[in-house]
Structure 1
Amino acid sequence: MPRYAKPADGDWALDPVAALGNSVKLSIIRILRENPGSTSVQLTEALQLGRTTVVEHLAQLEDAGLLQAVPSRTERRRGEVANYRVDNARVTELYLQLGQAMGEL
């Protein structure tokens, strides 16, 4: 697996990049903002990607606190369908953090 370059001045810039620096994750956030309560099946169809890929990105976004799932991944039973919503406050926080990391704010 390739090693990724880290900023010379520390790890403070890595969280927003990891959480938002992927076109699939950004697309998931955009779709969920337009269609709150969507399921992984609906997102898979909208993105035209494999279910495994979408579920993996959903888990990462949920772990980063950018999405809220009902039921949450820790409460979900096998085969149970979750509905996802964007935590807009957390997305805004990471967006501002990314701007600071780039020296724009």
Structure 2
Amino acid sequence: MKKSHGPAFKKAVIELDKCAFCRGRAVIQGLFHDLPCDRCNASGWVVAATGEALALDELVTQLSMRLQAATRQIEQMKNPRATGPGAHYQAGNRLGAGGANYTGD
């Protein structure tokens, strides 16, 4: 059943791209010093489809969602799971004496 009114149940992920004007640096070169980029609200990120800057509250939400996804991906890469015929030897099943791993050998 489709919602007809009210806020969405889940926040939609907006595809982001680097700002073409500042090349994702969030600042542009002024005459003597760096100035904040006006085209991307000094964030370095714009909406990939339109190239428009996001509102600051929406930008914080989208960057947080990207950071959480990247953190999950890093954690998954840190703890690789064993696969194949030797996988049951790597995982502890706590069926042995004193809760040790029992392999049946």
What's the TM-score bracket when you normalise by the shorter of the two chains?
under 0.3
Greater per-residue helix proportion: 1
Q: Per chain length, whose mean CA-contact separation is higher, i.e. which structure has more relative contact order (CA < 8 Å, sep 6+)?
A: 1
TM-score by length of 1: 0.28
TM-score by length of 2: 0.28
